[in-house]
Structure 1
Amino acid sequence: MANNKDDVPKFKLILVGDGGVGKTTFVKRHLIAESEMKYASRLPVIVRPFNFYTNLGEIIINVWDTAGQERFGGLRDGYYIDAQCAIIMFDVTSRISYRNVSQWHKDIIRICGNIPIVLCGNKIDVKHRKLKAKSITYHRKNNMQYYDISALSNYNLEKPFLWLAQKLTGNDNLQFVSQIPLLPPEINLDPDMLREYELQLKEAASRPLTDDGDDDDEL
């Protein structure tokens, strides 16, 4: 591990998606000291440094949180500039938030080019989700990784960062060697429901992709 923070590899992550999908809740689940947070110059953005200790050493992923600014129109290009990876988040109880994933993706590609991107479907703790695994195909058509997550229950919160860290370092053998500090979960997920969702994701991954749209007829 590097002893000097200046020697630790640092990466910029942008977190995008419609307002209300749970982005700020997602980042606030991670315990970050207030003194470590920074505000981006000339942008209404909070930058939260996430420190990860891996088998290859320490890395820092600086998460840029818009704090809801996307509710008042599109994000400024300055938010995207120099980003090295991204998370696009939607709400599995909101069909429109999934349909808008394509626009968020286009904005990233336009400014950042081909960077590693994880697509996250949040709020799987809601029992009657509107977006089932078979309907979520955008990531498969656009070279992204996908995870079901639940910010309130802490489910899968580390997986997007692990996948991105592997891609950013170019080493798929990278693993976290210590637990990520999180707030205690606010809710507990039904284990049977989780097993069912995980099975559905595996089955969906084996289905052939169609050439037309994102299965909107099933949304």
Structure 2
Amino acid sequence: MGCGGSREKAKDTPQIWSNHLDRSSQSKYNFKIVFLGKSGVGKTSITIRFCRDTFFDGTEATIGASFLTKTMNIDNRTIKFELWDTAGQERYRALAPMYYRNADAAVLVFDYTDPDSFQSLQSWLYEIQKNVPDCVIILCGNKIDLESSRKVQHEAAEDYAKENDCLLIEVSSKTGQNIQELFTKLGELLSYKHYKT
């Protein structure tokens, strides 16, 4: 499995995936996935764990966005994930549309130890549903390894996901728990959607 990455500065990204139709017509399944959520919830750690099977304590906050790719085989299909890890700080919020434009899926990440990160999902969900209405959305609760520090109950997250017709997947970027399952589910949902169209 290949995995490549590069840092992307916000000012250098005015034409991200402007040729979306060309990507979707390729024989290989290429899907653009955007990670959104409050700063510190673990968006970067999730993408790095998936691509490099590595975890770094104290990962620096993303500036603008970072970009990683990884290819998987799911149900006899070759799927290339193009992962956009966006900055969670409020001062970068206005840049988010440049990154989620033409996204095939959005992973809205929250931290089970941070209730504010869970509350902030509503604004991200509304924004994605309004601006990318055909986008697959998954809610991702991170840091399930910190059970003793949990502030958001599983039942509350599950109810919120059901109310908004989204799938909830709980992960730990630190231990790697359910990271592969997250991306396998993304690949299944997206390839099924692609096949139907």
1:70 matches 2:115: no
Q: Would you tell me which structure has more helix in proportion to its own residues?
A: 2
1:50 matches 2:80: no
Partner of 2:173: 151
Residues 69 and 124 from structure 1, CA distance in 2 versus in 1: closer, same or farther, beyond 3 angstroms?
Answer: closer
Counterpart CA distance in 2 for 1:49 and 1:114 is 22
Q: Is the contact made by 1:125 and 1:150 (CA closer than 8 Å) also made in structure 2?
A: yes
Cα distance, 1:69 vs. partner? 5.3
Report which stretch shifted further, 17-26 or 162-171: 162-171
Q: Aligned ranges for residues 1-219 of structure 1 at < 5 Å?
A: 7-31=27-51, 44-66=64-86, 68=87, 70-76=89-95, 77-126=97-146, 127-136=148-157, 137-170=159-192
Which whole-Å deviations, capped at 9, do the CAs of 1:185-211 have from their partners, x for residues lacking one?
xxxxxxxxxxxxxxxxxxxxxxxxxxx
Q: Would you tell me which structure has more strand in proportion to its own residues?
A: 2
**Which amino acid in structure 2 is aligned with residue 70 of structure 1?**
Q
SS in 1 for 2:187: helix
Task: Indicate the percent of aligned positions where both proteins have the same amino acid.
Answer: 26
Matched pairs, number? 155
Cα distance, 1:114 vs. partner? 3.3
Cα distance, 1:71 vs. partner? 4.2
SS in 2 for 1:103: helix
SS in 2 for 1:113: coil
SS in 1 for 2:165: coil
Q: Is the contact made by 1:21 and 1:89 (CA closer than 8 Å) also made in structure 2?
A: yes
RMSD: 1.9
SS in 2 for 1:139: helix
| Structure with max Cα Rg | 1
**Which amino acid in structure 2 is aligned with residue 111 of structure 1?**
N
Partner of 1:184: none
Q: Is the contact made by 2:74 and 2:187 (CA closer than 8 Å) also made in structure 1?
A: no
Q: Is the contact made by 1:69 and 1:75 (CA closer than 8 Å) also made in structure 2?
A: no
Residues 164 and 123 from structure 1, CA distance in 2 versus in 1: closer, same or farther, beyond 3 angstroms?
Answer: same
Q: Is the contact made by 1:117 and 1:164 (CA closer than 8 Å) also made in structure 2?
A: no
SS in 1 for 2:145: coil
Which whole-Å deviations, capped at 9, do the CAs of 1:158-186 have from their partners, x for residues lacking one?
12212221121117xxxxxxxxxxxxxxx
Q: Is the contact made by 1:86 and 1:117 (CA closer than 8 Å) also made in structure 2?
A: yes
Q: Is the contact made by 1:120 and 1:149 (CA closer than 8 Å) also made in structure 2?
A: yes
Cα distance, 1:94 vs. partner? 0.6
Q: Given the two structures, how large is their TM-score scaled by the length of structure 1? A: 0.66
Residues 75 and 163 from structure 1, CA distance in 2 versus in 1: closer, same or farther, beyond 3 angstroms?
Answer: farther
Gaps in structure 1 of 5+ consecutive residues:
1-5, 33-42, 172-219
